[in-house]
Structure 1
Amino acid sequence: MDPVQPLLSWGGVARTRQLLTAGVRERELTRAVTAGRIGRPRPGIYALPGTDPLLVRCAATNSRLTCVSAATHHGLWILRRPEKIHVLRADGTLSAERAVVHRKSWLPGEPEGWVASKADVLLHALQCLPELEALVMVESASQQGFSMDFLRERLPGRRNAPARRILDLVDVGAESLLETLARTHLRRAGLRVEPQVDVRGVGSMDLLVEDCVDVETDGREHEAPKRRLKDYRRDNTAQALGFAVARFGYADIVHRPEEMVRQVREMVEARLRLGGLPRLDEL
């Protein structure tokens, strides 16, 4: 058997025993390594070129990526990359100096894979990460259709109360982690916020605050000239309908949220003083 095929199905990396059990012969492994089609990054470990080094570490330690370290493998948003690798290993024998070790599994991952199931990844994040970092991961899973009730049912008791409070912050419709963060900061400041409000002629507003301020959260895609031109036209239409418009980027929302909230609050107060607010039921 060509060793490339089983490696592809296992995320690009496997232990020698796995490959031999799958029917790959040792001479086929040697030929593939000599030809440069696969590598041997560590004794007893074979990997395809370009395989995630974290998966190689998991194969070497017989563990699985989980929590924030596994987020991108499941298409989940992350606020920042972790300083340490987060792994699932039932016996917890890895050094705490090199890894954050999670021991409990609720739903097994792929039998021969090196990444924990999405359920385990999310539950570990809820019990491990700071509130907002866990929130963006969980909310992105919600947008994928993952059940929040499934997570809540597996987090009983007083010890898991902080994790359940994070689930209470999840809302529908966010298209990016910036929307999730901005919405959370604005609501905590006492402002009424509706996400993804569709307005005729404008399109979908990221966040409509107090029915009068359209808050747009701009990622890198908004830097393209054609996208900026589209945004200008859209903002002009929103303002013509009576909405104030505020745009914030990554640095504003992630690093200066208090300033963002202050500016939005001032815009709301100024718009309310003018009176004659837009009637959403007429738009």
Structure 2
Amino acid sequence: MDALLQFLHRRGGVARTRELLAAGVRERDLARAVNAGMLNRPRPGIYALPGADPVLVRCAATNSRLTCLSAAEHYGLWTLRKPDKVHVLRPDGMFSSERAVVHRRSWVSGQQDGWIASKADVVLHALGCLPELEALVLVESASRQGISLDFLRDRLPGRRNAGARRILDLVDVGSESLLETLARTHLRRAGFHVEPQVDIRGVGSMDLLVEGCVDVETDGKEHEAPRRRLKDYRRDNTAQSLGFAVARFGYAEIVRRPESMVSQVAAVVEARLALGGLPNSEDL
């Protein structure tokens, strides 16, 4: 019985009868587990642990896989929000629901009998489904994990995929967080020259160097720790001693008020350029 429960835990709490039998579980053991309340049988051919995610149970019942925004967390991909609908891959297209977004095409097979689409499918579905900036942060995180932009672009031919290819054109592999990606994109669209992750001797890596003179830092929650803040103060002081202006922004400003963030950076850049004597390129 322990082997049965361990197998189900590895499968996310849900399995089909054929998978259990193939793993050496006997039908009488399944019946005993159900009678003892250790397993549920939500529908014929499906067994689940009590408390199993109903979304996974639904995937098992409809021969679907989680994909797009619903599978991003599984792969550690950057997202701006939780999905308001479940995104599933169902190649036969038979499953439909007001609570689900159904993706019908698969490019790369996922794990056999798994409930999650392959990472490639997740990214490709996001490129064709999510709003531009949401798709951009997701695909940039995937590129950091090794997914090739050329691989993605080759699978998005034709006019109907032009929007997805435009998102790929915005990708810059230098960003180390979704906040950097968003800030960089908003600033470039405002007409600024922006270089991500520029290493400065004595300072370290600047998140975004704007117009060669303003260090824009994008601060996630990790910057709230007292020890990290002290480190930030020291590096900012060093950057300013070298002639760089420094501007820091948190999640709320970058994600919810990007226009304000851009206008503040514009003011800092204008003030720094008015001073003249820009930082020497030899410091880069």
* TM-score interval (norm. to shorter): over 0.9
- 2:265 aligned partner: 264
Contact 1:3 / 1:32 at 8 angstroms: preserved in 2? no
* Aligned-pair CA distance for 1:214: 0.5
* Aligned-pair CA distance for 1:123: 0.7
Once structures 1 and 2 are overlaid, which stretch shifts more, 234-243 or 3-12? 3-12
Unaligned runs of 5+ in 2: none
* Aligned-pair CA distance for 1:151: 0.4
- 1:89 aligned partner: 90
Once structures 1 and 2 are overlaid, which stretch shifts more, 16-25 or 104-113? 16-25
- The whole-number CA distance in structure 2 between the counterparts of 1:51 and 1:271 is 57
Instruction: Return closer, same or farther for 1:39/1:206 CA change in 2, 3 Å cut-off.
Output: farther
- 1:114 aligned partner: 115
Contact 2:40 / 2:50 at 8 angstroms: preserved in 1? no
- SS of residue matched to 1:112: coil
- The whole-number CA distance in structure 2 between the counterparts of 1:35 and 1:108 is 37
- The whole-number CA distance in structure 2 between the counterparts of 1:153 and 1:250 is 34
Look up the equivalent residue of 1:166 and give its one-letter code: I
- SS of residue matched to 1:232: helix
Identity, % of aligned pairs?
76
Superposed, 1:80-229 pairs within 5 Å as: 80-229=81-230
- The whole-number CA distance in structure 2 between the counterparts of 1:31 and 1:147 is 49
- 1:70 aligned partner: 71
- 2:40 aligned partner: 40
Unaligned runs of 5+ in 1: none
Contact 1:11 / 1:113 at 8 angstroms: preserved in 2? no
* Aligned-pair CA distance for 1:229: 1.2
- The whole-number CA distance in structure 1 between the counterparts of 2:233 and 2:84 is 39
* Aligned-pair CA distance for 1:31: 4.9
**Alpha-carbon deviations, 1:243-272, whole Å to 9, x = none?**
111111111011100110000011101100
- The whole-number CA distance in structure 2 between the counterparts of 1:143 and 1:116 is 19
- SS of residue matched to 2:192: coil
- 1:21 aligned partner: 22
* Aligned-pair CA distance for 1:59: 1.5
- The whole-number CA distance in structure 2 between the counterparts of 1:43 and 1:108 is 26
Look up the equivalent residue of 2:162 and give its one-letter code: A
Look up the equivalent residue of 1:201 and give its one-letter code: G
- 2:238 aligned partner: 237
- The whole-number CA distance in structure 2 between the counterparts of 1:277 and 1:51 is 60
- The whole-number CA distance in structure 2 between the counterparts of 1:118 and 1:15 is 23
* Aligned-pair CA distance for 1:221: 0.8
- The whole-number CA distance in structure 2 between the counterparts of 1:35 and 1:246 is 61
Contact 1:69 / 1:82 at 8 angstroms: preserved in 2? yes
Number of equivalenced pairs: 282
